[in-house]
Amino acid sequence: MIKTAIVGATGYTGSELVRLLYNHPDVEIQMITSESRKGEPFSAVHPHFEGLVDHVLQPASAVLEAELDMVFLALPHGVSMDYVKGYQSAKFNVVDLSGDFRLSSPEVYEAWYKKDHTHPKGFEDAVYGLPELHSAAIEKSSLVANPGCYPTSAILGLAPLIEAGWVDPAHVIVDSKSGITGAGIKAKPTTHYSNVSDNFKAYGLKSHRHTVEIQEQLSGLRPEPLQVQFTPHLLPVDRGILSTIYTTPIREEVSDQALRKLYEDFYADAPFVRLRKTPPTLKDVRSSNFCDIFTTYDERTNRIITLAAIDNLVKGAAGQAMQNMNLQFGLPETRGFVSLPLNP
């Protein structure tokens, strides 16, 4: 059994990790931590786990005193880096769900996150945890930087086109919509019911930190300079991301059939990518680790339109983290994923 701890399990991502790991046949959840609720049962924080997961919440310092194989860091950006630094000599693997080690360098991180980075060495050790692109490196890594939710949908939607050199890399538009859980569990004025219900808005224009994450990962697929215009939007729903991606082809012959073949070949060994014949919806992937992709060519505008749908808490966070753990321990990527999409 993989002896596992979840650090920072009082938020949405921590709760999802517990829900998924509870059903994993090779995982034993040994410890769940919380600084703000330590001493309380986990089920007191998340009552839907009553009678199922009643672990008493421990301080994070207890992790280093336990015999563990795997630690998930479900902590905010700017906090995880100190924990990773403190775990350098530990024998367990780490999947960090924050953005602290997703980018190429501490300098890039500080420019986009507006925070000083306290553990630059971590960038040398961390592997970007998108299994569809980096499975071989993930298998060998003890520190995985779990991708952001928006970047997961955008990168998976774009990767076949970019690698094949089918589209103009200087004109890539990603228009993404996310449910409210993407903003985290802490209450903010922008996430109050009265500001979200019957409302819809864009945010982070020109400066959202996921822009550079998308751009860096896609730039690794082709030598040409790549520029992404990324705009996220907040939907009045609880979970899910739908990204609509616009690209301009630079090859002469493009068709829906050719696009289908390109994506089928690229994702032939990707069990969680489903290529759809019709545009996906949020409920098609709700509560699952799937990324549903639909792509088509618009002859009138000479644009390729690609849609990618994920559950932001699963494939965009906890599910992808468990997928990465499976790879780290030599298990099939699909091991432990027993939930079908929940619709309605």
How far apart, in whole angstroms, are the C-alpha atoms of residue 5 and residue 56? 12
Nearest-CA neighbor of 304 among 162, 176, 178? 162
Q: Tokens in use for 25?
A: 């046949």
Distance of CA 263 to the CA centre of its chain: 20
Which residue is catalytic, options 149, 156, 242, 321? 149
Q: Residue 156's CB: how many other CB atoms inside 10 A?
A: 27
What residues have CB less than 8 Å from 210, skipping those under 6 apart? 148, 150, 151, 154, 230, 232
168 exposed, middle or buried (CB, 10 Å; 0-12, 13-18, 19+)?
middle
Q: Is residue 149 annotated as part of the catalytic site, yes or no?
A: yes
Are the C-beta atoms of 161 and 306 separated by less than 8 Å? yes
Are the C-beta atoms of 71 and 29 separated by less than 8 Å? no
Query: Which residues are the active-site residues?
Result: 149
